[in-house]
Chain A
Amino acid sequence: MYLLRLALRSLFNRRFTAILTVLAIALSVTLLLGVEKVRTEARASFAGTISGTDLIVGPRTGSVQLLLYSVFRIGNASSNMHWSSFEKIAAHPRVSWAIPISLGDSHRGFKVMGTTGDYFTHYRHGRDRQLMFDEGEAFDDLYDTVIGADIARELNYRLGSELILAHGTGAVSFVEHADKPFRVSGILAPTGTPVDRTIHVSLEGLEALHVDWRQGMPARGAAQVSAEQARQLDLTPSSITAVLLGLDSRVATFAVQRDINRFPDEPLMAILPGVALQELWSLLGVAEKALFIVSLFVVLTGLVGMLTAILASLNERRREMAILRSVGARPRHIFTLLLLEAFGLALTGVLLGLGLMYLALWLAQPLILSQYGLFIPITPPGLWEWTLLGAILLAALIMGGVPAWRAYRQSLIDGLSIRT
Chain B
Amino acid sequence: MPTPVIELDQVTFAWPRRPVLLDIDHFTLQPRERVFLKGPSGTGKTTLLGLVGGVELPASGQVRLLGQDLAAMSGSRRDRFRADHSGYIFQMFNLLPYLSVQENVTLPCHFSALRMQRACERHGDLQAAARHLLAHLGLDRSDLLRQPVTELSIGQQQRVAAARALIGSPELVIADEPTSALDADIREAFLELLFAECEAAGSSLLFVSHDAALESLFDRSLSLRELNRAAVREEQS
* A contact set with B: CB distance below 8 Å: 2, 9-10, 12-13, 319-320, 322-333, 415-418
Contacts and interface: CB of A to CB of B under 8 A. Distances in A.
Contact of B90 (A10, A324, A326, A330): A326
A13 B148 CA distance: 11
Interface in B171-186: none
Contacts, number: 61
B124 interface: no
B37 to A, nearest CB: 15
A336 to B, nearest CB: 12
Nearest to B83: A328
Interface stretch (B19-27, B107-115, B223-231): B107-115
B53 A333 contact: no
A415 B83 contact: no
B203 interface: no
B64 interface: no
Given A327-B108, A328-B82, A416 B88 contact: yes
Given A323-B90, A329-B83, 10 more contacts: A2-B110, A9-B98, A323-B94, A327-B164, A328-B108, A329-B111, A331-B79, A415-B53, A415-B56, A417-B46
B99 interface: yes
Given A323-B90, A332-B76, A416 B112 contact: no
Nearest to B164: A327
25 contacts: A9-B98, A10-B96, A10-B98, A13-B97, A13-B98, A319-B93, A320-B96, A323-B94, A326-B90, A327-B83, A327-B88, A327-B107, A327-B108, A327-B111, A328-B79, A328-B108, A331-B79, A332-B76, A416-B49, A416-B50, A416-B88, A417-B49, A417-B50, A418-B91, A418-B93
Interface residues of B, number: 30
Nearest to B170: A328
A12 B98 contact: yes
A12 B93 CA distance: 19
B141 to A, nearest CB: 23
Interface of A is mostly: helix
Given A328-B108, A329-B111, A9 B99 contact: yes
Contact of B50 (A330, A333, A415): A415
Contacts of B53: 326, 415-416
A417 B48 CA distance: 11
A16 B83 CA distance: 33
B10 to A, nearest CB: 22
Nearest to B161: A323
B174 to A, nearest CB: 8
Contacts of A415: 50, 53, 55-56
Contact of A330 (B76, B84, B94, B97): B76
A318 to B, nearest CB: 12
Contacts of A324: 96
A12 B98 CA distance: 8
A136 B99 CA distance: 71
Nearest to A332: B76
A232 B31 CA distance: 122
A12 to B, nearest CB: 6
A10 to B, nearest CB: 5
B95 A323 contact: yes
Contacts of B99: 9
Contacts of A322: 90
Contacts of B97: 13
Most chain A CB neighbours (cut-off 10 Å) among B56, B99, B110: B110
A323 B107 CA distance: 10
B78 to A, nearest CB: 9
B74 to A, nearest CB: 11
A12 B99 CA distance: 11
A12 B79 CA distance: 28
Interface in B147-190: 164
Interface string B65-77: 0000000000110
A327 B82 CA distance: 9
Contacts of A333: 111
Contacts of A10: 96, 98
A320 B99 CA distance: 11
Contacts of B107: 327
B122 interface: no
B220 interface: no
A2 B50 CA distance: 26
A323 B96 contact: yes
Contacts of B55: 325, 415-416
Question: Which of A9, A322, A325, A328 has the most chain B CB atoms inside 10 A of its CB?
Answer: A328
B98 A328 contact: no
